[in-house]
Copies of this chain bind each other. A is one copy, B any other.
Amino acid sequence: MSKKLLIVSTSKIHGSVYMGYLKEEVADFFGGVEELLFIPYARPGGISFDAYTELPQKAFASLGIKVKGLHEFADPAQALAHAQGIFTGGGNTFLLLKTLYELNLIEPLQQTIAKGTPYMGSSAGSNITGLSIGTSNDMPIVYPPSFKALGVVPFNINPHYLDPNPSSKHQGETRETRINEFHVHNSQPVVGLREGSWLRLENEALELKGELDARLFRAGHPPKELPPGDWSFLLQE
């Protein structure tokens, strides 16, 4: 079976509840799934795994989908292998990737995705689908043994993509400047996914969904704004 991925910029857009704006897409993506495995390792704000798992539990209850936290299993690799569907929530990407390495879950997760188990990631959970976490926006609060990520897509994600604010007086680098710096040292394309956008990979086709354009950065080329629709060309590069 081919990979089935939902790569989401953010679990929440301004003024919406957790996962609210995504409900229809998620119901369709996880059609037939009765129980979802939630990976809570990114722990936003240092929240406990149990408390974090309650968020998707509530959000998926209305779709008739049960949610279990991966931390509840004595053998998480086995749990991944037997999962009907997987959802990795946002938080800190460094912490998420470090925990996956420490628990030896990188390969099991890659294998589960390779065999067609639907995987949804949001924010940090989307970052790790790329070739590396080198385009994360997060603070490096812990040191992972590598920045290499799952690599289940042949590019990198920059979630919560932000356009430069022309009225800002702040001297920190813009997101675009940062991604251009990334491309001085790395060659993979980077998709700047705005809040409210997501990518869906299914049957070897990649689609940008939501209402917004996304910004595509390629090493050595000026960035491009591309509309929702077929983005399968990115799988060939």
Contact = CB atoms under 8 A, between A and B. Distances in A.
A181 B45 contact: yes
A186 interface: yes
Nearest to A94: B140
Nearest to A46: B184
Interface in A64-119: 91-92, 94-95
A170 B15 CA distance: 10
Interface residues of A, number: 44
Nearest to A172: B160
A139 interface: yes
21 contacts: A10-B171, A13-B171, A44-B173, A44-B177, A45-B173, A45-B177, A46-B181, A46-B185, A92-B181, A94-B140, A95-B185, A133-B140, A134-B140, A136-B139, A139-B173, A139-B179, A141-B181, A160-B171, A160-B172, A162-B172, A171-B195
Interface of A: 10, 12-15, 43-46, 91-92, 94-95, 133-143, 146-147, 160, 162, 169-173, 177-186, 195
Given A15-B169, A140-B147, 15 more contacts: A43-B181, A44-B181, A45-B177, A45-B180, A45-B181, A46-B181, A46-B184, A92-B181, A134-B142, A135-B141, A136-B139, A138-B178, A139-B181, A140-B140, A160-B171
